[in-house]
């Protein structure tokens, strides 16, 4: 049981990191869009 709980906890943790990173990229794109740097919008997600 403990192993299953550990696996589920790890999966949830990685999923949270993925979602957090995804929203971080969206925010970066939105900020760049508002700033009017349309070229930066395309480059920044690739650079990270």
Report pLDDT for 39: 57
Residues in the chain predicted with pLDDT less than 50, given as ranges, are 48
pLDDT value at residue 40 = 54
Please state, in angstroms and rounded to a whole number, the distance separating the CA atoms of residues 35 and 30. Answer: 9
- What pLDDT, on the 0 to 100 scale, is given for residue 30? 85
pTM of the model: 0.45
pLDDT for res 3: 87
Count of domains forming the chain: 1
Angle (CA) 40 30 37, round 5°: 30
Angle of helix 2-35 relative to helix 38-47, nearest 10 degrees? Answer: 160
pLDDT attached to residue 23: 92
The whole-number pLDDT of residue 2 equals 83
- Residue 48, helix vs strand vs coil: coil
Q: Determine the structural domain holding residue 36 and report its residue range.
A: 2-47
Q: 39 and 31 in contact (C-beta within 8 Å)? A: no
């Amino acid at each position: 049981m403990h192993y299953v709980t550990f696996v589920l906890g790890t999966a949830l943790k990685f999923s949270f990191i993925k979602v957090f990173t995804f929203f971080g990229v969206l925010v970066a794109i939105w900020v760049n869009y508002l700033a009017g740097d349309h070229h930066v919008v395309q480059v920044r997600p690739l650079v990270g």
